[in-house]
Chains A and B, each alone.
Chain A
């Protein structure tokens, strides 16, 4: 048996290295590619000079420095953070609800957050006391509020609170909130374009202030989830079995769902609704690494981040001198890809 177990451990290490390499390559490509091509050799020079506060060498063009450090680096890092957060949140939703179709998007967390944050944006509400972290924290609160409402309505309909009911109620809830957002958008001509674009998700015009506001909140929430991977494993066997193994099921489910919803809320607070990454990334990772959350959670974060960076790169470069909303790209690629991965998996089983 020793050989079998050793063999089983080597393969994930190789795939983990490949996933991390793909993430690095996608980020380097994303900072280099665009309307202005940036030489690969300049990337580490510019990044290291800024990080260690050193003067730039003379051979580096000032325009390259501005585009790379001011525009692309924060955007790419934000895209990776948002993708990683959405992917991890998708893992939590699918495992806790034991439903392969569950995600923050399908159960209404994204829509709830977008309604809350969108309304604040509409009235130009700011949070001086919270500084940079205002919108991510409000995003967390809106995400938690949305999942609480979705579960409250589900429990009113189904006292057993089956995961299928939560997903179905979440979908209805999501559609209802989307209609509310559309209503607000239609009534307020001044912010129409801004809100419409925000609903489709975009990393356009995002700067270091946005990235540095989301990154620490997302990291804290990801670490909190990383400490509960054993509970996630056990909950996939159902509530009764989890209780028999010694888990306080009610407390644990709420905690995990709140953490997942807060992660989604914080990550989309500046960029709007982006679908399918939270649905697709967990499926890809489970196909490669199995089901153990100790591996699945961090690898889904890497995979989600990579998918988001790649999608944003396509959104920026697919049409010259124009930019697509990233949510449109993730949906266009994600929907057929999800159908392929999910139905192939079912066919194999």
Chain B
């Protein structure tokens, strides 16, 4: 089965400066791939190049076998969507209207109106992320976590094969982070779908990834299963910091506290 996303020697950047250099990897159906690495290593730039938000400076990105440079925006939106983050929204759209925007690519012609299928899909997507009750509320009144869920519902409403996320857990507390990854896990498990996510939280990357790509200085420096990446020395080298020792110490402390709690409960 051909991969859903193929990145072949892709280079990308801004104003002639290469930020990502010759990246090579592929994402198959059913996979959740996390991209990790220190700040400024090119993770977001790579995601933007995959979504054709910035032009490639070299190489190619293929979505479902077709080069992104040859795809029209509307065709690309039918295959891949990105869970965007609303930093500031001055316009007072309702939650349902916001999710319905994800159906834009499904309608053809300037006079086309929303079909009953569009409304059904939008409501299903809101139900999936637990926001159906807030369908009529304004998005400007939602908390950061609720907005993230609405934007995920909108990404689902595009009915893509691939969803891309850039640090999706920003502004979310631990419970909402776990819930968000739960929704994504359920979505990807329905077959023929894949998730590519840029992650800062390594424990979440380990928990919610099938494969991890480690980036440093604009290049992919390691690739493998979460346990392989987390135990290899490449992680410490990429971050220029003793990440593994730090994580071990943090978890040991956590474990110790939990044991004390158990002891006290037992007493």
A234 and B104 contact, Cβ closer than 8 Å, known pairs A1-B133, A244-B77: yes
B207 → chain A closest CB, angstroms: 26
Segment 182-213 of B: residues with Cβ below 8 Å from A:
none
How far is A255 from B251 in the complex, measured between Cα atoms in Å? Answer: 56
Contact yes or no, B97 A246, CB < 8 A: no
| A290 to B, closest residue via Cβ | B92
B76 within 8 A of A: yes
B15 within 8 A of A: yes
Segment 209-243 of A: residues with Cβ below 8 Å from B:
227-228, 230, 233-234, 236-238, 240-241, 243
A4 within 8 A of B: yes
Q: Mark B122-133, 1 if CB is under 8 A from A, else 0.
A: 010000000011
Contact yes or no, B90 A244, CB < 8 A: no
Segment 85-109 of B: residues with Cβ below 8 Å from A:
86, 89-94, 96-97, 101-102, 104-105, 107
Q: Mark B33-64, 1 if CB is under 8 A from A, else 0.
A: 00000000000000000011100000000000
Contact yes or no, B73 A248, CB < 8 A: yes
Chain A, interface size: which category?
A: 20 to 34
A95 within 8 A of B: yes
| A227 to B, closest residue via Cβ | B110
How far is A238 from B89 in the complex, measured between Cα atoms in Å? Answer: 9
A290 and B104 contact, Cβ closer than 8 Å, known pairs A244-B77, A246-B73, A246-B78: no
Chain B residues near A100: list those with CB within 8 A.
Answer: 90
Contact yes or no, A244 B51, CB < 8 A: yes
How far is A157 from B153 in the complex, measured between Cα atoms in Å? Answer: 38
Contact yes or no, A290 B105, CB < 8 A: no
| A240 to B, closest residue via Cβ | B53
For B, the interface residue count at a CB cutoff of 8 angstroms equals: 37
Contact yes or no, A230 B73, CB < 8 A: no
A73 → chain B closest CB, angstroms: 34
B81 within 8 A of A: yes
Contact yes or no, B136 A4, CB < 8 A: yes
How far is A146 from B3 in the complex, measured between Cα atoms in Å? Answer: 49
B215 within 8 A of A: no
Contact yes or no, B136 A1, CB < 8 A: yes
| B77 to A, closest residue via Cβ | A246
Task: Pick from A1, A230, A237, A349: contact of B140, CB below 8 A.
Answer: A349
A5 and B86 contact, Cβ closer than 8 Å, known pairs A233-B93, A246-B104: no
How far is A100 from B92 in the complex, measured between Cα atoms in Å? Answer: 12
Contact yes or no, B101 A234, CB < 8 A: yes
B217 → chain A closest CB, angstroms: 25
Chain A residues near B84: list those with CB within 8 A.
Answer: 237-238, 240-241, 244
Chain A residues near B136: list those with CB within 8 A.
Answer: 1, 4-5, 7-8
A194 within 8 A of B: no
Contact yes or no, B92 A244, CB < 8 A: no
How far is A117 from B51 in the complex, measured between Cα atoms in Å? Answer: 45
Contact yes or no, B97 A292, CB < 8 A: yes
B111 within 8 A of A: yes
A286 within 8 A of B: yes
Chain B residues near A8: list those with CB within 8 A.
Answer: 94, 136
How far is A332 from B133 in the complex, measured between Cα atoms in Å? Answer: 44
How far is A235 from B89 in the complex, measured between Cα atoms in Å? Answer: 11
B152 within 8 A of A: no
Contact yes or no, B101 A237, CB < 8 A: yes
A277 → chain B closest CB, angstroms: 20
Chain A residues near B77: list those with CB within 8 A.
Answer: 244-246
A291 and B104 contact, Cβ closer than 8 Å, known pairs A243-B73, A244-B81, A246-B73: no
For A95, A159, A230, A236, the residue with the greatest tally of chain B CB atoms inside 10 Å of its CB is A230
A233 and B73 contact, Cβ closer than 8 Å, known pairs A241-B84, A245-B105: no
Contact yes or no, B105 A246, CB < 8 A: yes
Chain B residues near A286: list those with CB within 8 A.
Answer: 91-92
How far is A285 from B91 in the complex, measured between Cα atoms in Å? Answer: 12
| A234 to B, closest residue via Cβ | B101
A247 within 8 A of B: yes
B255 → chain A closest CB, angstroms: 41
Chain A residues near B121: list those with CB within 8 A.
Answer: none
A98 within 8 A of B: yes
Contact yes or no, B92 A291, CB < 8 A: yes
A246 and B76 contact, Cβ closer than 8 Å, known pairs A227-B110, A233-B101, A240-B84: yes
How far is A286 from B90 in the complex, measured between Cα atoms in Å? Answer: 11
Contact yes or no, B101 A245, CB < 8 A: yes
| A to B CB contacts below 8 Å, 10 in the list | A1-B136, A4-B135, A233-B93, A233-B97, A243-B52, A243-B53, A249-B73, A290-B93, A290-B94, A291-B93
Leading 3 A-B pairs by shortest Cβ distance: A246-B77, A246-B105, A291-B91
Q: Which residues of A contact B (CB under 8 A)?
A: 1, 4-5, 7-8, 95, 98, 100, 159, 227-228, 230, 233-234, 236-238, 240-241, 243-249, 286, 290-292, 349
